[in-house]
Structure 1
Amino acid sequence: MHTREEKIEAFGRFLDVLDTLREKCPWDRKQTNQSLRTNTIEEVFELSDALMKDDTPNICKELGDVLLHVCFYSKIGEEQQQFDVADVCRKLTDKLIFRHPHVYHPSQVETENPKPLPYGEDLQHNDMQNADTAQKVIENWEQIKLKEKDGNKRVLSGVPDALPSLIKAYRIQDKARNVGFDWEDKGDVWKKVHEELGELEQELRKGNKENSTQELGDFLFSVINAARLYKINPDDALEKTNQKFIRRFNYIEEHSIRQGKPLTEMTLAEMDNLWNEAKKQEKDSL
C-alpha cells in the first residue's frame, strides 16, 4: 500500500490532469453539471455492480470514475467562484467530526488537525457520547443531522427523491426507526405483511387497477419492512434473484440454440425441465 505522501501526490497529479483536460479537451471543456448528471448516475450503478460481484479490479476502476465526477463538479464550482474541491473536503471533514461526538469533541469542528478524544475520557458534553455500538452511532447520526445549521429540517427530508423506489422505502423505514418509530417485536410485522397481501388479492379480484396498484405498493412496503427488521437488505436480495433468473434463463436459451429450436417453439414444459436442470446444477456446485 502507498504512503500518505504518495496518496497526496497521486491526488495532486489527478487534479493537474483534470485541469488540463478542462482547458484543452473539447469534450471536457463543454461539460456542465446538467450534462454530467446522467453519466454520474451510470458510473455509480457500474460501481454498485462491481461491488455486488466483489470484483476488486473493477471496484478500483469504478471508484476512479466516481471520483472523477466528484472532482469535475468541484472544478465547475471553482470556475463559477462558488466552491472548489478543498471546500468539498473541508465540509465533509467538519460534518464527520460533528456527527461523531463519541470520537471528537464538537470544538474540533473546523480545526486543521482534529485529534480523537482519549479513550475513557469523561465525555459528558452531551447525551450522545456513549455510542458503544454501531446501531447507537446510527441513531445519534440522525438526531445530530437535525441539529446542523444547514442540515435536514425533517427526519425524512434526507431521503433523496431520485432514489430507486425499493431503496427509498428501505431508507424511509430505517430513518423512522432511528427516532423510535418501529415495531417493538419484529415478529409482529408478519401480521401486517399478510394483511396487506389479503387487501391486494381482494383488489385484484375486483379488477380495480388503481386500487390494486396502491395495495401492491403497500404490500411491497411491508415486505421491505420485514426484510429490514430481519437485517436483510432487500435491494441486495432482489439483485441476487435477478442474477439467478438471468443465469437460469440463459441456460434455457443456450440449450435452445444448441438444438436449433427457437424459444418461441419450445413448450412451457420443456422450458420448465431445463430451468430445473439449471437449478440442480447450481445446487450441485455449492
Structure 2
Amino acid sequence: MAAGDQTARLLEVMARLRDPQTGCPWDVEQTFATIAPYTIEEAYEVADAIQREDLSDLKGELGDLLFQVVFHSRMAEEAGAFAYDDVAGHIADKMIKRHPHVFGNQEGIDSAGAQTLNWEAQKAAERAEKAKQDGRRESALDGVALGLPALTRAEKLQKRASRVGFDFPDVGPVVGKIVEELDEVQAELDAGDDVRLAEEIGDLLFAVTNLARFRKIDPEAALRGANDRFAKRFRAVEAGLERDGKRPQDATLEEMDRHWNAAKKAT
C-alpha cells in the first residue's frame, strides 16, 4: 500500500472515530483543549524513544504523534476552519519558503550555521509582519510559546534577549547571578515567606538555565540526565537494602545514604 493510501486510511479511521452517530463516545466528546495534553505527551514519548535509540518504539511513537495531528485536523475540519491537507500544505509551503537555497536560487547558504542564521532572519521577518497585522508593537520575545516546558521557555527567552544585546559579557557574572539568587532564596527561607520563596526559587532556576545556555548546554537534556541518574541510583539503593533484608520505608537515612554513595561511585 502506498504512503498516500495509508494517509487516506488514517484520515478515514479518524473520521469514523469522530462520527457523532457511530463513532467512539470518548473520541467524539474530545476538544482541542482536552487533546492538547496528549499531544505534548506523545511528543515527549518520541523524544524518549530517540534517546533510547529504539527505532522500533520510535516508529510507534511517531505514529501516535501523527494521530494527534490528524485528531486536531479533524476537529478543525468539523468546525469549518481547516483540514489535514491544509496543515500539510502549510508546512510544505513554509519549508520551501525557508529553504530558498534548495528550492530557489539564493546563494551563500553553504553550511548549517548559515542556514540557521537565514532561518532565524526569516522567522524574525514573519514575526514582525504578524505584529504589524495585529496592530501591536513588535517584541524580541514574540513567538516564544507559553506552553513550552519552563526550562525550554526560559532558554528561548534568554536567547531572544541575547540577540538584541541584553546578555552578560562572559560566564563570570552568570555564575555570580546564581550565587546572588541562592542568597535571596536563603533570605526568604529565613523570613518564612513562602510566596516570595517561590519567586526566588524561580529566579534561581532561571539563572541556572542561563548558565546552561551560556555554555551551549541544553537545560532540558541536562535535567533529564540528572533525573535518569537519580532513578538509577535510587533503584540501586532499593536493591542494596533488599540484600540487607530491608525496604526503604524500614531503613534509616544513614543506611540509605550508604547505599546511595556506593551507587554514586559506581555510576
Range class of TM-score, shorter chain: 0.7 to 0.9
The alignment's TM-score, normalised by the length of structure 1, stands at 0.77
CA distance in 2, matches of 1:193, 1:135: 30
Q: Report the equivalent of 1:253.
A: 238
> CA shift at 1:21, angstroms?
3.5
The DSSP-based 3-state class of the residue aligned with 1:197 is: helix
- Equivalent residues in 2 for 1:100-119 (5 A)? 100=99, 103=101, 115-117=103-105, 119=107
Q: Report the equivalent of 2:10.
A: 14
> CA shift at 1:226, angstroms?
0.8
> CA shift at 1:236, angstroms?
0.9
The answer as to 2:195 corresponding to 1:200 is: no
What amino acid is aligned across from residue 154 of structure 1 in structure 2? S
The answer as to 2:228 corresponding to 1:243 is: yes
CA distance in 1, matches of 2:173, 2:23: 59
**Number of matched residues?**
260
Maintained 8 Å contact 2:155/2:213: yes
CA distance in 2, matches of 1:94, 1:14: 23
> CA shift at 1:63, angstroms?
1.2
The DSSP-based 3-state class of the residue aligned with 1:156 is: coil
Q: Report the equivalent of 2:212.
A: 227
User: Structure 1, residues 40-96: CA drift from partner, whole Å, max 9, x if none?
Assistant: 233223223223333322222111111111111111222222111111122223333
The alignment's TM-score, normalised by the length of structure 2, stands at 0.82
CA RMSD of aligned residues (A): 3.0
Comparing 162-171 and 69-78, the one that deviates more: 162-171
Q: Report the equivalent of 1:147.
A: 128
C-alpha spacing 1:187/1:276, structure 2 compared with 1 (3 Å): same
C-alpha spacing 1:138/1:193, structure 2 compared with 1 (3 Å): farther
> CA shift at 1:134, angstroms?
5.0
- Structure 2 residue aligned with 1:178, among 159, 163, 172? 163
- Structure 1 residue aligned with 2:118, among 137, 144, 152? 137
What amino acid is aligned across from residue 35 of structure 2 in structure 1? L
Maintained 8 Å contact 1:99/1:144: no
> CA shift at 1:227, angstroms?
0.3
Comparing 203-212 and 249-258, the one that deviates more: 203-212
The answer as to 2:76 corresponding to 1:88 is: no
C-alpha spacing 1:137/1:179, structure 2 compared with 1 (3 Å): farther
Q: Report the equivalent of 1:156.
A: 141
The DSSP-based 3-state class of the residue aligned with 1:157 is: coil
Maintained 8 Å contact 1:204/1:212: yes
C-alpha spacing 1:166/1:132, structure 2 compared with 1 (3 Å): closer
CA distance in 2, matches of 1:196, 1:234: 18
CA distance in 2, matches of 1:197, 1:232: 21
Maintained 8 Å contact 1:203/1:212: yes
What amino acid is aligned across from residue 37 of structure 1 in structure 2? A
Q: Structure 2 unaligned runs (5+)?
A: none
Q: Report the equivalent of 1:42.
A: 41
C-alpha spacing 1:227/1:138, structure 2 compared with 1 (3 Å): farther
Maintained 8 Å contact 1:139/1:179: no
Identity rate of aligned residues, in percent? 37
Maintained 8 Å contact 2:181/2:204: yes
> CA shift at 1:259, angstroms?
3.4
What amino acid is aligned across from residue 9 of structure 1 in structure 2? D
C-alpha spacing 1:225/1:138, structure 2 compared with 1 (3 Å): farther
